[in-house]
Structure 1
Amino acid sequence: MNATGAAATAERGFELWWWTRRRSVALDGGLALASAVECALRGVAFADRTGLPVWLVVVPGALAGLMLIVRRRWPLAVVLVSVAVLPANMGGMLALVGLYTLATTEAPRRIIGAVACMEGVGAIIVMFLLLDQDPGLREQSLPVWFRPLMSVLFGVACVVPPVLLGMYVRARRRLVESLRDRAHGLERELSLLAERAEERAEWARGEERRRIAREMHDVVAHRVSLMVVHAAALQAVAAKDPEKAARNAALIGDMGRQALTELRTMLGVLRAGESGSSGGEGSDAPSRLAEIVAVGASSAPARVRREQVEERGPSLTEVAVLVDQSRAAGMSVDLAVEGEPRGYAEQVESTAYRVVQEALTNVHKHAAGAAAEVRLAHREGEVAVLVQNEAPVGGGGARLPSGGNGLVGMRERVTALGGGFVSGPTDSGGFRVSAVIPDRRSARG
C-alpha cells in the first residue's frame, strides 16, 4: 500500500467527538484561535472607548471567540454568541463562520433567516453608532443618508454572503448524496441483474444438456434396440433358416450404420462447441446446435438457431419407415392415419416422430412379441399421436436395459411446445402413450 492509500485508511479510521477527519480538527482549531485573537483585539479597543478594565473585556471576548471550536456541533449557539458580543464590536469572524456553518446544516430555513436577521440588524446598529461617533466623519459635511446607507451595506455584507455560500454548499452536498445513493442503487440493481443473468445462463445450460441427452437417447436407443431384437432373432433362426438369418444380419448392418451415423452427428455437436469448426457428414446441424449450447436457450438468436436445427430433424413422413423397421424386427404393428397432413412446423413434426419412435422402442424393450398400433390424427392446428400395445405374451424376446428416461423425455418434448402428454397402462394389460401437439404457426395461418 502506498503512502496515499495508508493516509486514506488512517483518515477513515479517525474519530474524535464530532470530527471524523484530522484536517477538520486542525481547521476548526485554527479558526477558533483566530476568532479569539480578533475578539481580544477588538475588546482592547472597546475597553479604551468605554474606560472598562481591559481584562474584563478581553477575557470574555477571547472565550467567546473560542466558541468556533464547536461550530460543527452547535452552529446555532455560535451565531447566538456572536450576536451577544456584537454590542462590543466583537465577533465578526464568529458571525461569518457561524452563519456559513448553520446554513450548511439541515436546520430549517426560517431559523436560519431569523438568526441572520438578528445578526444583520445588530451589525447595522453597531455600524451606525460607530460612524456617528467617529470624530473624522463628524468634521466632514456628509449627506444625511450616508451613515444609514453605509450601515445597511455593512450589515448586508456581513450576513448575506456567508448565508448564500452555506446554502449553496448544502445544496451541493444534497446533490452529491443523491447521486451517491443513486449510484449505490444502480450497483445493487446491476448486482441483482448479474445474479439473475447467471441463474438464467445456468438454467439455459441445464436445458441444453437435457435436450442433447434427449436427442442422444432418441436417435440411438431406438436403432440399438432394434439391432438387439434382430440379433436375438438371428440367433434363434441361424441354424434353421439361413436365408432369414442373412436378411436379419443385413438389417442389423444397416441399422448399425444408421446408428453410427446419427451418433457421429450428435458427438459432432459437442466437438463443434470446442473447435469452432465442423466437417464431415451432418456437419451443418451439429455446428448450429453447438451455437445453441454456447449461447443458451434464453436469447432470441439461440431460439432462431434452435429452430434451424430442428428443421434438419425427422418428419411425420418417416413414421412409416419406423413402423416397417419394427415389423421387420417381428413386431405386429398397425399404422392408421386420420386426416390430411397440414404442413406443420418442423419442431412439431420432429416431436411427433420422436414420440412414436420412443414408444415403439419401449414396446421392444418391455413387451416383446406384443402387437402394437400407431395412430396419427391430423387436425386443425394440432397433431395427435397414439401408440399402444397389447399385453406381452410369454417371456420371449431379448432382454433390453432401460434407463427410465424415455417417458420423461417424451413429456418434456411435448410440454415444451405447449402440448399434452399422457402415458400409462391400459385395462387389457398393455401400455398407452398419447400426445397432442399444437401447431401455433398453422393455427395463425
Structure 2
Amino acid sequence: MTTTGDDRTTAMTGPWWWERWRGAALDAGLALVSAAECGAEGVEFARDAGLPTAVGVAFGVLAGSALLFRRRWPIAVVLISIAITPAQMGVLLTVVGLYTLAASELPRRITGALAGMSMAGTMIVALVRTSQDMANDASSPAIGSEFVPFFAVTAAVGVTAPPVLLGLYVGARRRLVEGMRERADSLERELQLLAERAEERAEWARNEERTRIAREMHDVVAHRVSLMVVHAAALQAVARKDPEKAVKNAALVGDMGRQALTELREMLGVLRTGDGTKSAKPAKPAEPVPLAAVGHAAAAAASRAVDEEGPSLADLDELVGQSRAAGMAVDLSVEGDPRDYAADVEQTAYRVVQEALTNVHKHAAGAKTYVRLAHRASEIAMQVENEPPPEPDSAADVRLPSGGNGLVGMKERVMVLGGVFVSGPTDGGGFRVSAVLPAPAAAG
C-alpha cells in the first residue's frame, strides 16, 4: 500500500513554511553557521570600508541569517549573496542559496540567470582581489599575468557550478519520486474504484438472476397451483353428486401437482448443483471458491436451464386446454403463419399467456376469456382479454391468494426483450393484457 496525498499532507506538521521540524532545524543551523561566517568576515570588511567593526559584524550576521528563508524565498537569498559578494563574505550563503534555487520548482531560465550573475560577480571579485594581492605582494614577481584570470575563473566555477548541478539533480529526482508516488496513488484510487464498480455489477447481476428465477418460480407455481385449487373446489362441489366427474377432477389435480413438482425439482436441482448436468459420481474436492461466485454461477446456470428446457408456443394448446378443463371458457385464435422463434421469445410469449390466464382464474373465475396470437413479419403479438366475471356462486367461489407480482413479472419479461407491454381494465368491465415482442425467425 502506498501513502496517499492526504496522508502526506497530514504528515506536514512543521512550523510556518517548513514541512517538517527537521527541515526547520537544518535551516536554522545553516543560518547560524552562515551568520557566524559572515560576521567574522564583516570585521575585515568594516576595516577596509572605514566603518566601525560593530557595523560590519552586524551587517554580516544579518546577511548570513538570510539562509533561514532559503526554502521560502530562494531568489531573495541568492540576490543577497550576489549583493554581498563585493564585500568578500557569504561563501556558504552563496553555495547553499544556489543549491536551493536549482532544486526548487522555479523555471530553469531564472536559475540560469541568477547562477550566471553569481558566477560573474564571484569571478570579478576574485580577479580584482587577486590582482590587488599580487600588486601588494612584492615577494612573488615570478608569477605571470596569466595566473590571475585562471584563478578567477576557477574560483567562480568552483563556487557556482557544483551547487547548481547538485541542486538540479536533487530537484529532478524529487520530481520523479513525486510523479511516481502520485501515479501510484492514482492507480490505487483507480483500483479501488474498479473494485467498487465490479462489486456493484456483481450485486446487480445477482439481483437480476434472483429476480429472473423468482419469475420462473412464480409462473410455475402460480399457474399450476391455481388450477389445482380450482379443480379441488370443483371436486368438493361435485364429489357426492357426480362421482365420475369428481374422479376426473381428482386425476387432473394429481397430474398438475406432478407437473408442478417436476418443474420445481428441475429448477431446484440446477440451483443445488450449479450446472445443468448430473454427475454419476461425486467430484473430487477442488480449491475453495468464493460464495458469491458460486451463487452467481448457480443463478446463471438456472437461467440457462430455464431457457433451454422451458415451455414454447407449441405448448400453448395444452395450456389453454388445462384452463378449459378447469371450467374456464377460453377462445384461442391464431393469426399468421407460425414459425420457429428464439427460445427466449417463445418462452416469454408462453409465460405472458400463462400468467394472464392465471390472473383470470384468481380474479375473474368463470369469465369468458379470449386468447389471441398474431405472427407478423418481424414480431409476435399476444393478447389475453376476459369479460366481466359472472355473479359469484357461494358454492364454487374460490378466493385465490395474490402476491401482486404477476403483471410486474410479465412487464419485466417483455421489456428485457425490447418489447411493449400494456395492461389494464376494458370499457366493458373486463381486463386486457397485451404484449408485442420483436421476433425475427430463429436461425436454422
Q: Same fold (TM over 0.5)?
A: yes
TM range (shorter): 0.7 to 0.9
In the TM superposition, what are the counterparts of 1:1-16 in structure 2 within 5 Å?
A: 12=11, 14-16=13-15
State the alpha-carbon separation in 2 of the partners of residues 125 and 137 from structure 1. 24
Q: For residue 207 of structure 2, what is the aligned residue in structure 1?
A: 206
**1:137-173, CA deviations, whole angstroms, 9 ceiling, x for partnerless residues?**
942243x443213312321232233223323333333
Q: Note closer, same or farther for the CA distance 1:306–1:160 as it changes in structure 2 (3 Å cut).
A: farther
Q: For residue 5 of structure 1, what is the aligned residue in structure 2?
A: none
Q: Which runs of 5+ in 1 are unaligned?
A: 1-7, 281-289
Are residue 355 (structure 1) and residue 378 (structure 2) matched? no
Residue 226 of structure 1 and its aligned partner are, at CA, apart by 0.8
**1:206-250, CA deviations, whole angstroms, 9 ceiling, x for partnerless residues?**
222222221111001111111111111112221122111111111
Q: Which amino acid aligns with 1:226?
A: L
State the alpha-carbon separation in 2 of the partners of residues 291 and 440 from structure 1. 34
State the secondary structure of the residue aligned to 1:377.
strand
Q: For residue 331 of structure 1, what is the aligned residue in structure 2?
A: 328
Are residue 365 (structure 1) and residue 366 (structure 2) matched? no
Q: Note closer, same or farther for the CA distance 1:366–1:50 as it changes in structure 2 (3 Å cut).
A: closer
Q: For residue 3 of structure 1, what is the aligned residue in structure 2?
A: none
Residue 319 of structure 1 and its aligned partner are, at CA, apart by 0.8
State the alpha-carbon separation in 2 of the partners of residues 384 and 294 from structure 1. 33
State the secondary structure of the residue aligned to 2:309.
coil
Q: Which runs of 5+ in 2 are unaligned?
A: 1-6, 280-291
In the TM superposition, what are the counterparts of 1:92-171 in structure 2 within 5 Å?
A: 92-132=91-131, 133-134=133-134, 135=137, 138-142=140-144, 144-171=145-172
Q: Is the 8 A contact 1:124 1:155 kept in 2?
A: yes
Q: Which amino acid aligns with 1:65?
A: G
Q: Is the 8 A contact 2:311 2:347 kept in 1?
A: yes
Q: Note closer, same or farther for the CA distance 1:330–1:146 as it changes in structure 2 (3 Å cut).
A: same
**1:366-390, CA deviations, whole angstroms, 9 ceiling, x for partnerless residues?**
2222222222222223221122222
Normalising to structure 1: TM-score of the pair? 0.83
- Of the two structures, which has the highest relative contact order with CA contacts closer than 8 Å and spacing of 6 or more? 2
Q: For residue 410 of structure 1, what is the aligned residue in structure 2?
A: 410
Residue 258 of structure 1 and its aligned partner are, at CA, apart by 1.3
Q: Which amino acid aligns with 1:348?
A: V
Are residue 383 (structure 1) and residue 380 (structure 2) matched? yes
Q: For residue 284 of structure 1, what is the aligned residue in structure 2?
A: none
Normalising to structure 2: TM-score of the pair? 0.83
Q: Is the 8 A contact 2:313 2:349 kept in 1?
A: yes
Residue 255 of structure 1 and its aligned partner are, at CA, apart by 0.9
**1:305-363, CA deviations, whole angstroms, 9 ceiling, x for partnerless residues?**
84554112111111111111112112222222223332111100111111111111122
Q: Is the 8 A contact 1:268 1:278 kept in 2?
A: no
State the alpha-carbon separation in 2 of the partners of residues 61 and 388 from structure 1. 105
Q: Which amino acid aligns with 2:75?
A: L
Are residue 432 (structure 1) and residue 429 (structure 2) matched? no
In the TM superposition, what are the counterparts of 1:73-92 in structure 2 within 5 Å?
A: 73-92=72-91
Q: Is the 8 A contact 1:292 1:305 kept in 2?
A: no
Are residue 251 (structure 1) and residue 246 (structure 2) matched? no
Q: Which amino acid aligns with 1:92?
A: V
**Percent sequence identity over aligned pairs:** 63
Q: Note closer, same or farther for the CA distance 1:155–1:108 as it changes in structure 2 (3 Å cut).
A: same
Aligned residues: 419
State the alpha-carbon separation in 1 of the partners of residues 192 and 215 from structure 2. 34
Q: RMSD of aligned C-alpha atoms?
A: 3.3
Q: Which amino acid aligns with 1:330?
A: G
Q: Which amino acid aligns with 1:249?
A: A
Residue 434 of structure 1 and its aligned partner are, at CA, apart by 1.5
State the alpha-carbon separation in 2 of the partners of residues 362 and 435 from structure 1. 16
Q: For residue 284 of structure 2, what is the aligned residue in structure 1?
A: none
Residue 97 of structure 1 and its aligned partner are, at CA, apart by 0.4
Q: Is the 8 A contact 1:415 1:421 kept in 2?
A: yes
State the alpha-carbon separation in 2 of the partners of residues 232 and 308 from structure 1. 34
State the secondary structure of the residue aligned to 1:392.
coil
Q: Is the 8 A contact 1:313 1:350 kept in 2?
A: yes
State the alpha-carbon separation in 2 of the partners of residues 277 and 305 from structure 1. 7
State the alpha-carbon separation in 2 of the partners of residues 31 and 249 from structure 1. 104
Q: Is the 8 A contact 1:355 1:410 kept in 2?
A: yes
Q: Which amino acid aligns with 1:376?
A: L
In the TM superposition, what are the counterparts of 1:280-319 in structure 2 within 5 Å?
A: 294-295=296-297, 306-307=303-304, 309-319=306-316
Q: Is the 8 A contact 1:381 1:440 kept in 2?
A: yes
State the alpha-carbon separation in 1 of the partners of residues 76 and 329 from structure 2. 104
Moved more, 409-418 or 254-263: 254-263
